Homo-oligomer: A and B are copies of this chain.
């Protein structure tokens, strides 16, 4: 078994690869066998282990993503979520590769937003507003930059210092970007062409009434029924609403579940899933004044797409 750490995976496999591989997988979903993910509590609160296996019988490769959730970790300078992916060659039955799964998870989550932004946001979008500058934010930025000519980035974070740190990181990598931190989320919402939310908030992080015509919103933060970062009053105002995965969103996305329960926006009102959006391959907004929304919770086959893409590049080196 070969082992590839985060740095090695990062150097080999990037955002454009992830977007391409996920869109490619959408054309070839028949060979995928998923299983329910397994969650085992390992301590107090959210402390747990997650096991997510997924197999591609056509390509004869299988993966399992093993994720530990350790809520106390940040106090000790370690990340809350740590992932590892094991790849099995189904032709030989050999367990061939162990690779870091934390970066790949952030990357695939970014890629999902990237695909949504590509087919839903205005083609002339230049201003990206980012609500939440935590662990998932950087790859969300990379994704939007990949598919739109972003010139300006507006950052909002509950803890301003962290937004300033993130700004410094972005400017170090992309000195041509204009990056600013705002202390009032309204300033961000009113100016952004694309709003990308990546918080674990249990309340809306913006006011739907302040969203401007022509805005596209990606919500990737809420992944439990008690998390509700998107103001779901935006959903009936939206021209198009897409989910990454129907079943996942219905079970996990708190603001969408609440919208369905209250009748604000029923599950069946959704325009499609990310696969349909990608296979259609055309910009899906009616005009430059439409509001569009993408809600994402993740699914094992997205992990499969990036894991197999990274695996195939890593073993060729």
Contacts of A35 in B (CB 8 A): 38-40, 51
- Taken together, the copies of this chain in the complex come to 2
CB-contact partner of A93 in B3, B41, B68, under 8 A: B68
- A residues contacting the other copy or chain, number (CB 8 A): 42
| CA–CA, A43 and B33, complex, Å | 11
B38 x A33 contact (CB < 8 A): no
A90 x B70 contact (CB < 8 A): yes
Interface membership of A11, Cβ < 8 A: no
What 1/0 flags go to A38-62 for Cβ under 8 Å of B?
Answer: 1111110001010101010100101
- Beyond A3-B98, A35-B40, A40-B62, whether A49 also contacts B92 by CB under 8 A is no
Residue of B nearest to A88 (CB): B68
A84 x B82 contact (CB < 8 A): no
Q: Is the interface of A mostly helix, strand, loop or mixed?
A: strand
Residue of B nearest to A5 (CB): B1
B68 x A55 contact (CB < 8 A): no
Residue of B nearest to A62 (CB): B49
Interface membership of A78, Cβ < 8 A: yes
What is the CB-to-nearest-CB distance from A290 to chain B, in angstroms, rounded to a whole number? Answer: 41
| CA–CA, A98 and B99, complex, Å | 11
- Which 4 pairs show the lowest CB-CB distances between chains A and B? A70-B93, A68-B93, A84-B95, A35-B38
Give 13 CB contacts A-B under 8 Å: A3-B98, A33-B41, A35-B38, A35-B51, A42-B55, A43-B60, A47-B90, A49-B62, A66-B95, A70-B92, A79-B93, A82-B94, A84-B88
The residues of A with any CB-CB pair to B shorter than 8 Å are 1, 3, 5, 33-36, 38-43, 47, 49, 51, 53, 55, 57, 60, 62, 64, 66, 68-70, 73, 76, 78-82, 84, 86, 88, 90, 92-95, 98
Residue of B nearest to A61 (CB): B42
Contacts of A43 in B (CB 8 A): 57, 60, 90
B49 x A53 contact (CB < 8 A): yes
Contacts of A79 in B (CB 8 A): 93
| CA–CA, A79 and B82, complex, Å | 32
| CA–CA, A38 and B55, complex, Å | 12
